Amino acid sequence: MQLVFKGGKIVHIHCKSEDCGNEWKIEEGSDWSQKFDAKQSQSGIWTIICKKCGRSYLSG
Query: Contacting Zn ion (CB under 5 A), which of 3, 11, 20, 26?
Result: 20
User: How many residues bind Zn ion, per CB under 5 A?
Assistant: 7
**Applying CB under 5 A, does 15 fall inside the site for Zn ion?**
yes
Query: Contacting Zn ion (CB under 5 A), which of 4, 45, 53, 58?
Result: 53
Cβ nearer to Zn ion, comparing 42 with 56: 56
DSSP the chain: -EEEEETTEEEEEE---TTT--EEEGGG-S--TTTEEEEE-TTS-EEEEETTT--EEE--
